[in-house]
Amino acid sequence: MAIEFTKYHGLGNDFILIDNRSSSVPLVTPEQAIKLCDRHFGIGADGVIFALPGENDTDYTMRIFNSDGSEPEMCGNGIRCLAGFLADLEGESRNKDSYRIHTLGGVMTPQLLSDGLVKVDMGLPRLLASEIPTNLAPAQEKVISQPLEVAGQTWEVTCVNMGNPHCITFVEDVSAIELETIGPKFEHHPAFPQRINTEFIQVVRRDYLKMRVWERGAGITLACGTGACASLVAGVLTGKCDRTATIELPGGPLQIEWSEVDQRVYMTGPAERVFTGKL
């Protein structure tokens, strides 16, 4: 059976989108996803995203297989791409500008803006050690500016779950980080039993941060939406940044806000269609 797909990217974080609305089971296996994501022998992507039927009164369900075949709970850039993909699928029948999407990390609400950007209500950040999860602190305590030894160096880390787990550390110069070497050591550190996404953050101004990321299951990527959200939360918790800031990633900027009113995190950024094809 031929399967149609559309390639999207959010700031260079790229995905293969598949219309899976006719079934609650992904049409592609994790093993097949690995091959499809291969940049030399496949389509090339950081992950495969499936648009499945909604659950529990949501419009749709999102599932994603990373380029290594693992399944993350959520993906910030991916959900913006999914919103754009759903709008394309619905075409002229689309009667609203926002969706309630069920994910393994909770219900997310992306909104298509008039300027072509997508704003996502990413929900409440989860901060307790048991919610990350990590053993860096007792289960009901937060991990804020805790020392963590990785590769013979002590890093000061803050942990945030934005639907998936993140470890954030602030550095003087993100360009000096040997990400390919240090990233895997963070991801597989015994402090994180379910592995971890790691963000290295340089504070340029209180409203402008630079970020590089090592994604769990994908490695170095040009952008990470949940990571940008987690990094702003970490910056606020440590007193390093404002509650609204631009996060500059290698692929471009995201606008992130941690609202004082409802304590929810909002992410705004692009989702761009690249091409379509058949498997």
Catalytic (active-site) positions: 75, 224
Give which of 192, 164, 169, 148 is closest to 62, Cα–Cα: 164
Secondary structure element (H or E) that encloses residue 214, with its range: strand 208-215
Question: How far is residue 150's CA from residue 172's CA, in Å, rounded to a whole number?
Answer: 17
Question: How far is residue 201's CA from residue 205's CA, in Å, rounded to a whole number?
Answer: 12
What length does the chain have?
279
Token pair listed for 95? 């009667």
Token pair listed for 110? 């992306």
Question: How far is residue 266's CA from residue 2's CA, in Å, rounded to a whole number?
Answer: 37
Question: How far is residue 212's CA from residue 224's CA, in Å, rounded to a whole number?
Answer: 9
Q: Which residues contact 190 (CB under 8 A, 6 or more apart)?
A: 135
Token pair listed for 2? 């031929």
